[in-house]
Amino acid sequence: MEIMVNGKPYEVADEPDRPLLWVLRDELSLIGTKFGCGIGICGSCDVHLDGNVTRSCITPLSSVRGKAVRTIEGLAGDGGLHPVQQAFLDEQVHQCGWCMSGQMMRAVALLEENPDPTEEELAATMNANYCRCGAYGRIRRAIVRAAGQMAAAEDPTSGGGGT
């Protein structure tokens, strides 16, 4: 069967029950999406399915048919890093980095849905993702920073530079 990942079609074995995570990692070599728990608790495997965050470790291939998959490898564009990636870099968020693809994918989905989340909305959303290194404070700051930059880029009167 064919699946669309980061705008590109891939031919993969038609095993409808196989979780998307292992297709991405082991068949397509998109190793940026990580395995953490296998039961949908930790969020290390988060990807987008038609723009919605999805735990790829418990998402069977059958439910991916006809949908657009986006992974960490698809975040950066021709203009460089996605504002969320840039903000994670600017805030020096990562420690070990294993959970961070999932964190960034969830943060991107949050800001695409809700460009100016309150602190409570931000925490409620990001509660879905574990960070064992304890970088939660920096993740929070990076998302606030990214929201500011994305808003500034949207607003032609601001000059697009953000802070």
Partner 1 sequence: MTERRGVQGNQAPDEADREWYISRRGFLIGMAATGTALALGIPLGLPPLRRAAARLTEGEAGGFASGTLDPLLWFEIYPDERVLAYVPKAEMGQGIHTALAQIAAEELEVAWEKLEVLHASTSQADDSFRGTSGSMSVATLYDPLRQAAATLREMLRHEAARKLNQSSEALVARDGGFEVAGDPNTRITFGQLVAGAVEWQVPEEDVPLKPASEYKFIGRSLPRIDLPAKIAGEAIFGYDARAEGMLYGAAVHRPTIEAKMRSARPGLTEGMPGVVKVVIEDSFAGVVAESRLQAWAARDALEIEWDEGYLWQQQELEDLVTAGGRGGVSIQRVGNAPSALKQGTPIVAEYRTGMGTHAPMEPQAALALVGPDGGKVWTSTQFEMTARRMVAEALDLELEQIEIIPTFLGGAFGRKIELDPVPSPAVEAARFSRAVGAPVHVGWDRFEEMRDGFFRPLTHHQFSAILNDGGRIEAMNHEQASGDALFGGFPQPVGKILGFDFGSTRGAQIPYAIPNRETVAWRRPMPIPTGSWRGLGLMANLFAIESFFDELAHAAGKDPLQFRLEHLPDDVLGQRIRAALEAVAAQAAWGRALPEGQAQGIACGTDGGTVVAEVAEISVDQDSGRIRVHQVVAAVDPGLVINPDGATAQIEGSIVMGVSAALLEEITVRDGRVEAGNFDRYPLLRMGDAPEVETILLEAPDGKPRGLGEPSIGPIAPAIGNAFFALTGIRLRRLPMTAERVQAALG
Residues lying near partner 1 in the complex (CB under 8 A) are found at 18-19, 22, 25-26, 29-39, 41-42, 44, 71-73, 76, 81, 85, 88-89, 92, 94-101, 104, 123-124, 126-127, 129-140
The nearer residue to partner 1, 66 or 137, going by C-beta atoms, is: 137
Q: Shortest gap between Cβ of 30 and partner 1 (angstroms)? A: 8
Tokens representing residue 73 in the block: 């490898």
Distance of closest approach, residue 54 Cβ to partner 1, in angstroms: 17
User: Of the two residues 44 and 162, which places its CB atom closer to partner 1 in the complex?
Assistant: 44
Query: Would you say 22 or 162 has its CB closer to partner 1?
Result: 22
> Considering the complex, what minimum distance in angstroms separates the CB of residue 66 from partner 1?
23
What is the closest distance, in whole angstroms, from the C-beta atom of residue 109 to partner 1 in the complex? 15
